[in-house]
Chain A
Amino acid sequence: MDLALLWPAGLLALAALAVPLLLHLRRATEARRVEFAALRWLSPRQRPRRRLRLREWLLLLLRLLLVALVALLMAGPARVPGGQAPPEVLVAISLHAAAARSALPGLPPDTRWRWLAPGLPLLDGSEDFASATPPALASLLREADARAPVGALLHVVVPPVVDGADGERPRLAHPVRWHVLPAPTPAPESVIATPTLVLQAEPGDSAAIATLRAVAQAWMPAGATEVAPLVVAGLSDALPPTDRWLVRVDDSVASPALEDWVRAGGTALLVPRHASAARATHDADADASVVAWRRADGTALARVRTLGRGRFVLLQHPLEAAAFPELLDAGFPRDLQALLDARDPASTQAPADALRPVAGGPRFPPVPAPLAPWLAVAAAGVLLLERWLATRLRREAGP
Chain B
Amino acid sequence: MASRLEIPLELRARLPQLRLAARRALGVQGFGQHASRSRGAGMEFAQYRPYAPGDEPRQIDWKLFARSDRHYVREAERDSPLTAWLLFDLSASMRQGDAARADWTRLDAACVAGACLAELATRQGDRIGALGIGEAGLRLVPAAQGPRHRDRLLLALQDWQAQGGWPNEAALRPAWARLRAGDLVIAFGDGFDEAMVSLLVKLAAARREVVFVQVLTAEERDFPYRGGQRFVDAETGAELLGDGPSTRDAFLQAFARARAALDARLDAAGIRHAVAWLDRPLDEPLRALFPARASRLAPAPA
Contacts and interface: CB of A to CB of B under 8 A. Distances in A.
Interface of A: 28-29, 31-44, 46-49, 53
16 contacts: A32-B227, A32-B230, A34-B225, A35-B95, A37-B93, A37-B234, A38-B251, A38-B255, A39-B233, A41-B251, A42-B231, A42-B251, A46-B250, A48-B229, A49-B243, A53-B227
A315 B225 CA distance: 109
Interface string B242-258: 11001100110011001
* B231, B236, B246: most-surrounded residue (chain A CB, <10 A): B231
A34 B98 CA distance: 10
Contact of B233 (A31, A36, A43, A44): A36
Given A28-B228, A41-B254, A47-B242, 15 more contacts: A31-B229, A32-B227, A34-B225, A35-B96, A37-B233, A37-B235, A38-B220, A38-B255, A39-B233, A41-B251, A41-B255, A46-B242, A46-B247, A48-B227, A48-B242
A39 B232 CA distance: 7
A41 B243 contact: no
Contacts of B298: none
Nearest to A38: B220
Contact of A38 (B192, B228, B229): B192
A68 B231 CA distance: 40
B1 interface: no
Contacts of B254: 41-43
B235 A31 contact: no
A44 B225 CA distance: 16
A40 B235 CA distance: 12
Nearest to A47: B241
Interface in B178-200: 190, 192
Interface residues of B, number: 31
Contacts of B246: 46, 49
Secondary structure dominating the interface of B: mixed
Interface of B: 93, 95-96, 99, 190, 192, 219-220, 225, 227-236, 238, 240-243, 246-247, 250-251, 254-255, 258
A397 B119 CA distance: 46
Given A38-B220, A41-B258, A42-B240, A31 B247 contact: no
A43 B238 CA distance: 13
Nearest to A26: B227
A35 B241 CA distance: 12
Contacts, number: 86
B232 A35 contact: yes
B209 to A, nearest CB: 27
Contacts of A35: 95-96, 232-234
Contacts of B255: 38, 41
A44 B246 CA distance: 12
Contacts of A33: 229-230, 232
A29 B243 CA distance: 11
B243 A47 contact: yes
Contact of B240 (A32, A39, A53): A39
B96 A42 contact: no
Given A31-B230, A42-B231, A37 B243 contact: no
B230 A34 contact: yes
A39 B236 CA distance: 10
A398 to B, nearest CB: 14
B250 A36 contact: no
A42 B235 CA distance: 16
Nearest to A36: B231
B227 A42 contact: no
A31 B240 contact: no
Contacts of A38: 190, 192, 220, 251, 255
Nearest to A28: B228
A264 B133 CA distance: 111
CB-based closest 4 A-B pairs: A37-B93, A48-B228, A31-B228, A48-B243
B55 to A, nearest CB: 60
Nearest to B99: A34
Contacts of B93: 37
A36 B247 contact: no
Contacts of A46: 242-243, 246-247, 250
* A31, A35, A37, A47: most-surrounded residue (chain B CB, <10 A): A37
A37 to B, nearest CB: 3
Given A39-B238, A43-B254, A34 B247 contact: no
* A38, A41, A42: most-surrounded residue (chain B CB, <10 A): A38
B93 to A, nearest CB: 3
Nearest to B105: A35
Given A43-B250, A43-B251, A46-B243, A32 B234 contact: no
B247 A37 contact: no
B216 to A, nearest CB: 8
A104 B219 CA distance: 88
Contacts of A36: 96, 219, 231-233
B95 A42 contact: no
A43 B255 CA distance: 11
Contact of B241 (A31, A41, A53): A31
A38 B93 CA distance: 9
Given A33-B230, A35-B232, A42 B242 contact: yes
Contacts of A49: 228, 243, 246
A34 B258 contact: no
B150 to A, nearest CB: 30
Contacts of A53: 227
